[in-house]
């Protein structure tokens, strides 16, 4: 028997009379005596298999009606239009095979009738992802990546990979995971920032990288993990405004692509996706502080980082994606370019969804001496950055770029409560397995 000719989702009443072979999981079994139902589930949907003793033969019928839930099964049969069946058809099988039987009891119930604890779900993630609403998010995530890659190529960009095993911190301060690297100490990289900037000096002009970043922060929130996927972009001969346009375009493109290509998944998630309109609103840090001061009990000073409460307030007030621009140079990294005429303000920006930050970016410092000065002002040691600074001494184009968190983009797009719902095997303070 050919392993599969169709997915469940590809079958419709119009295929009445067609012989098909389906393969998937035994989602449900119902036994009514002389007739029994097996609901087969694959990643595109469910199909009702009506087990008729006369068609299957006595032994096969007996075997088929006793299949344990979630076993892997293969069914060959004929499509029959049947108004009473879900989606208007049933399959009348001539052959039913169990390719791999599932043990009883299951570690969790993938039929979504029972809601269970996140930890239980993550412990049995393979089973959890069999739930259509969990799987849907990851399929959409893949579509988001496809749309972004398309978008970057259309914008003349080159995809690159930079090392994740590195000798130095990108920003000092931020916690890094140390690893042993032969006789040396090394770290897992917290961001491709320094490397993608060096590629501007390499003349690569416009690059993007989609890869993991590692943060050894002990945060325990619904939007932080210790390993995350970052979508990083760096563009030569561009300023902050240029890459903000590139960024809002990327986000809008991801939404519209998902809306056009992920019907089934959006339906499973019960979402009517609204594509955000570009351009996104631009609000300066100073304006944001003023808005926040309308709220009672705000004690923030110019120069303070915006706290979660303020971000939340701004998000609720603005209600859609927006950019926060013109940050105090003191709270943005050393590689962010200060304005020439008011060096206390810099060309750094954050892309915000009403719920949280999605991306950070900036026009970068491309002047070697200014960069050294900025590193020193941040209390860091330029010697430790020699491999990076060298790339600024032999011709460095002006450049700008950003880093966008993939899971945050997906979790806000799909209204997921927890970033762990947008990461297949999340890594946090407590979880290293599976």
Residues near ligand ATP, by CB under 6 A:
215, 224-225, 228, 230, 357-360, 403, 405, 407-408
Q: Are 341 and 331 in contact (CB under 8 A)?
A: no
Nearer to ligand ATP, 74 or 170 (CB): 170
90: Cβ–Cβ under 8 A, 6 or more apart, which residues?
47, 48, 49, 50, 79, 80, 82
- 223 catalytic? Reply is yes
Nearest alpha carbon to residue 129 among 432, 425, 430: 425
390: Cβ–Cβ under 8 A, 6 or more apart, which residues?
none
At residue 250, φ and ψ (nearest 5 deg) are -65, -45
Which is the catalytic residue, given 27, 223, 374, 420?
223
- 236 catalytic? Reply is no
- 295 catalytic? Reply is no
CA dist 267 → 249, 273, 348, 370 (Å)? 25, 10, 38, 52
Nearer to Mn ion, 215 or 374 (CB): 215
Nearer to Mn ion, 41 or 215 (CB): 215
The nearest distance, CB 48 to ligand ATP, in angstroms, is 41
* DSSP annotation of 190: S
The nearest distance, CB 170 to Mn ion, in angstroms, is 12
The nearest distance, CB 363 to ligand ATP, in angstroms, is 15
Burial, 242: exposed, middle or buried (Cβ in 10 Å; 0-12, 13-18, 19+)? middle
Nearer to ligand ATP, 130 or 374 (CB): 374
The nearest distance, CB 283 to ligand ATP, in angstroms, is 17
Nearer to ligand ATP, 56 or 404 (CB): 404
The nearest distance, CB 298 to ligand ATP, in angstroms, is 19
Task: Give me the residue whose beta carbon is nearest to ligand ATP.
Answer: 405
Which is the catalytic residue, given 256, 357, 368, 427?
357
CA atoms within 13 A on the CB side of 37: 13
- 360 catalytic? Reply is yes
- 344 catalytic? Reply is no
Chain residues 350-369 in contact with Mn ion, contact rule CB under 5 A: 360
The nearest distance, CB 268 to Mn ion, in angstroms, is 32
Q: Which does 224 bind (CB under 5 to 8 A by kind): ligand ATP, Mn ion, none?
A: ligand ATP
Q: Are 75 and 95 in contact (CB under 8 A)?
A: yes
Q: Which does 228 bind (CB under 5 to 8 A by kind): ligand ATP, Mn ion, none?
A: ligand ATP
The nearest distance, CB 200 to ligand ATP, in angstroms, is 18
Nearest alpha carbon to residue 158 among 235, 213, 249: 235
Starting from the edge strand earliest in sequence, which strands make up the sheet with 178-181, in order?
A: 165-166, 184-188, 178-181
Q: Is the peptide bond before 279 cis (omega within 30 degrees of 0)?
A: yes
CA dist 423 → 61, 134, 203, 219, 319 (Å)? 40, 10, 34, 17, 25
Site string for Mn ion, 390-429 (x = CB under 5 A): ----------------------------------------
Paired strand residues for 199: none
- 131 catalytic? Reply is no
- 43 catalytic? Reply is no
Contacts with Mn ion: how many residues (CB under 5 A)? 1
Paired strand residues for 76: 21, 95
Task: Give me the residue whose beta carbon is nearest to Mn ion.
Answer: 360
Site string for Mn ion, 306-345 (x = CB under 5 A): ----------------------------------------
Q: Are strands 178-181 and 158-159 parallel, antiparallel or unpaired?
A: unpaired
In the complex, which residues of this chain contact Mn ion (CB under 5 A)? 360
For the annotated catalytic residues, the residue numbers are: 215, 217, 223-224, 357, 360, 408
């Amino acid at each position: 028997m050919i392993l599969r000719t169709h997915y469940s989702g590809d079958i419709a009443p119009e295929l009445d009379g067609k012989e098909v072979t389906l393969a998937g999981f035994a989602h449900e079994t119902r036994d009514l005596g002389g007739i029994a139902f097996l609901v087969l589930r694959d990643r595109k949907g469910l199909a009702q298999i009506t087990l008729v003793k006369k068609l299957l033969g006595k032994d096969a019928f007996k075997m088929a009606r006793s299949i344990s839930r979630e076993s892997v099964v293969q069914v060959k049969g004929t499509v029959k239009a049947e108004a009473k069946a879900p989606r208007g058809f049933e399959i009348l099988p001539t052959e039913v095979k169990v390719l791999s039987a599932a043990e009883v009891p299951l570690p969790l119930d993938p039929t979504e009738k029972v809601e269970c604890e996140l930890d239980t779900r993550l412990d049995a993630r393979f089973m959890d992802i069999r739930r259509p609403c969990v799987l849907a998010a990851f399929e959409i995530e893949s579509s988001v990546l496809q749309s972004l890659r398309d978008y970057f190529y259309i914008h003349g960009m080159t995809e690159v990979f930079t090392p994740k095993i590195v000798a130095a911190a990108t920003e000092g301060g931020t916690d890094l995971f140390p690893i042993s690297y032969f006789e040396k100490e090394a770290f897992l990289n917290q961001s491709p920032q320094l490397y993608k900037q060096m590629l501007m000096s390499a003349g690569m002009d416009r690059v993007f990288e989609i890869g993991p970043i590692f943060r050894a922060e002990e945060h325990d929130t619904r939007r932080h993990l210790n390993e995350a996927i970052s979508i990083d972009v760096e563009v030569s001969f561009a300023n902050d405004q240029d890459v903000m346009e590139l960024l809002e375009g990327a986000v809008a493109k991801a939404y519209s692509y998902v809306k056009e290509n992920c019907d089934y998944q959006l339906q499973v998630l019960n979402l009517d996706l609204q594509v955000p309109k570009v351009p996104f609103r631009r609000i300066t840090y100073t304006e944001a502080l003023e808005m926040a001061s309308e709220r009672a009990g705000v004690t923030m000073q110019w120069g303070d980082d915006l706290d979660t409460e303020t971000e939340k307030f701004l998000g609720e007030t603005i209600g859609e994606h927006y950019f926060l621009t013109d940050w105090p140079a003191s709270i943005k990294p050393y590689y962010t370019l200060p304005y020439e005429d008011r060096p206390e303000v810099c060309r750094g920006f954050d892309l915000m969804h009403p719920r949280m930050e999605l991306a950070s970016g900036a026009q970068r410092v491309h002047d070697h001496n200014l960069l050294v000065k900025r590193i020193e002002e941040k209390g860091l040691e330029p010697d430790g950055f020699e491999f990076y600074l060298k790339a600024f001494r032999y011709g460095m184009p002006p450049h700008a770029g950003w880093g966008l968190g993939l899971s945050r983009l997906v979790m806000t797009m799909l209204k997921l409560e927890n970033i762990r719902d947008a990461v297949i095997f999340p890594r946090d303070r407590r979880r290293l397995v599976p």
